[in-house]
Amino acid sequence: MQRDEVLIINFGSQYAHLISRKVRSLRARTRVVSYKDFIEGTCRGLGREWSAVIISGGPSSIRVGDPLITEFSFLKSVEVPVLGICFGHQLIAAVYGGEVSKGKGEYGPTKVRKVRDDRLLEGWGSEEIVWMSHGDHVSRLPEGFVALAYSENGSVAVMRLKDKPVYGVQFHPEVRHTEKGIKLLDNFLSIAGVRRSWTDARKLELVESYVRSELGSEGKVLVAVSGGIDSTVAAVLVRRIAGDRLRVVLIDHGLFREGEVAEVLASMKGLGMEPEVINARDRFLIKLWGVRDCEERRRLIGETFAEIFAEILERDPEIRYFVQGTTYPDVVESGASPGADRIKTHHNVGGLPEWFRLRVKVIEPLKELYKDEVRELGRSLGIPDDLLSRHPFPGPGLAVRVVGGFTPEKLEVVRKASRIVEEELGKAGLLSDVWQAFAVVGDDAWVGVKGDRRALGHVVIIRVVSSEDGMTADWVALPPEVLQSIASRITSELSNVTMVAYAVTPKPPSTIEPC
């Protein structure tokens, strides 16, 4: 643990990671810790290891008598600056003896008025627009606190303890709709004197020294690539240190997009690697065939990957290490979001059985980094942009884009229709502007006319979304002519499709992938 780290106490993972990423963009190192781990004492010693503390927003409510108030009473003796955001703001108020109660709530862009100057609000005008999302509010300031700003509806928008840098903000400075949010976070880091040492060079140095310390001088290193950013960057990084000891494989589960395996091989060749392709298409297909429950499919896919890795290890006893492209949110998410509902099983982490970890040492060079940081690292390692700017593609591949019973026929519909979506967006110059663009098929049928005859066919749903990090997403209003060419190509090139629909629901309430 380093003195220059900012501790972020996580009360709701979405918010905490966004805060963490924004703070990192200000070149400060962060660590996200769930409040449960924190209370259980895994991360005590505040004021010695950390240079500042941020308490995130979250979905809970805090009232007089809540055990959290006692559990977090240590905040009063923390020596470093503290910033509470949304729920964190209310928690600070409650801990210091103020009052939090239910009000009318404020949602979306809201005007706030500054009533007192403070370093935290340096660079702010007397009125600013912020993003609010709260039902509860601080109805009575604790003793010793002053309000620095109020919302247009009269709620305390910013408060501080008079004689100590303990702050609370009711809005979300981490979301881009809060126009001067980054400025506020930057001011907070300056107040705390946080060292801005989290640079690209530092990240590379850290990752390389981690890999060096994990890898002994002997034994082969196995890495499985998928064409995704994480596994590619992990492979390139480890090769710099492991050299010829690295064995690169690509497991073809048959759930890739059309032509994807060949494209990945070509990209890898460009990076000086020639992955060995393991054709496991039938094996995955047999397992998945007919399985309706998507979570069960995800589990089966994870299990089959592990079996294949085990077989590789059995055949090659010299393999001692296994590289995974796990990123920071995967690590934090897998153990540290108590109370958060499991929406989907992302099987990148924890999917490996215990015996596997006993047989080989698992190396996760990217486990301290966010996706955008991995992309930057990839850039500094010379990985070409077209590879780094590829759309995210889920580990279980097209299996999560078939809704209802899984059949090879539906898989082919999704594969071919997705290719058409990508091609048409590419022609319109829109493909690289969107986060993801793909087709989905379920069990619904639509009566069509093909060659004057009644034909019952599949309904294909097109999903094109924009997003910053996949945690929230907006549907993209494609030009009608692009939608039309997608629809007419799909229905003419796929004889078993009679209807094409467009998904116009953001995340939330929908997720990006259908299941």
Residues 417-436 contacting ligand XMP, CB under 6 A: 436
Near ligand XMP in 255-294, by CB under 6 A? none
3-state secondary structure of 269: helix
Phi and psi angles of residue 61, each rounded to the nearest 5 degrees, phi first: -120, 150
Q: In the set 392, 404, 442, 448, which binds ligand XMP (CB under 6 A)?
A: 392
86 flagged as catalytic = yes
SS3 441: strand
Question: If you count them, how many residues does the chain have?
Answer: 515
- In this structure, the number of other CB atoms found within 10 A of the CB of residue 136 comes to 21
Alpha-carbon distance 223 to 309, whole Å? Answer: 10
Which listed range, 68-76, 394-402, 456-464, 475-483, lies at the site for ligand XMP (CB under 6 A)? 394-402
State which of positions 325-344 bind ligand XMP (CB under 6 A): 344
Catalytic, 177? Answer no
97 binds ligand XMP, rule: CB under 6 A? no
When asked if residue 367 is in the footprint of ligand XMP (CB under 6 A), the reply is no
Q: How far is the CB of 471 from ligand XMP (least distance, A)?
A: 7
Nearer to ligand XMP, 6 or 229 (CB): 229
Sign of CA dihedral 303, 306, 312, 315: negative
Whichever of 344 and 359 has its CB closer to ligand XMP, that residue is 344
137 catalytic, yes or no? Answer: no
Tell me how far, at minimum, the Cβ of 327 lies from ligand XMP, in Å.
10
Give 252's strand partners.
279
Closest to 427 in 3D by CA, of 479, 465, 467: 479
Q: Which residues, in sequence order, are CB contacts of 290 under 8 Å at separation 6+?
A: 405, 406, 407
Q: Is 395 in the site for ligand XMP (CB under 6 A)?
A: yes
Question: Which residues 457-496 are close enough to bind ligand XMP by CB under 6 A?
Answer: 470
- Check binding of 227 to ligand XMP (CB under 6 A): no
Please tell me what DSSP assigns to residue 497.
E
CB of 400 to ligand XMP, least distance (A): 6
Among 178, 348, 491, 496, the residue binding ligand XMP under the rule CB under 6 A is 348
Binding mask 434-453 toward ligand XMP (x if CB under 6 A, else -) reads: --x-----------------
**Annotated catalytic residue: which of 17, 86, 364, 458?**
86
* Residue 91 vs 224, nearer CB to ligand XMP: 224
Q: Are 49 and 4 in contact (CB under 8 A)?
A: no
The catalytic position among 172, 346, 347, 458 is: 172
Write a three-state SS string for 293-333. CHHHHHHHHHHHHHHHHHHHHHHCCCEEEEECCCCHHHHHH
Where helices occur in 83-199 by DSSP H, the ranges are 87-95, 181-192
**DSSP secondary structure letters along 343-369:** ----TTSS-S-HHHHHHSEEE-TTTT-
List the one residue from 173, 275, 325, 394 that touches ligand XMP (CB under 6 A). Answer: 394
Asked if 240 interacts with ligand XMP (CB under 6 A), we say no
Looking at 5, 106, 128, 174, which residue is catalytic?
A: 174
Region near ligand XMP per CB under 6 A, out of 79-87, 148-156, 210-218, 392-400: 392-400
Burial class (CB in 10 A: 0-12, 13-18, 19+), 201: exposed
Catalytic residue set: 86, 172, 174
Q: Which residues bind ligand XMP (CB under 6 A)?
A: 298, 344, 346-348, 392, 394-396, 400, 436, 470, 507, 511-513
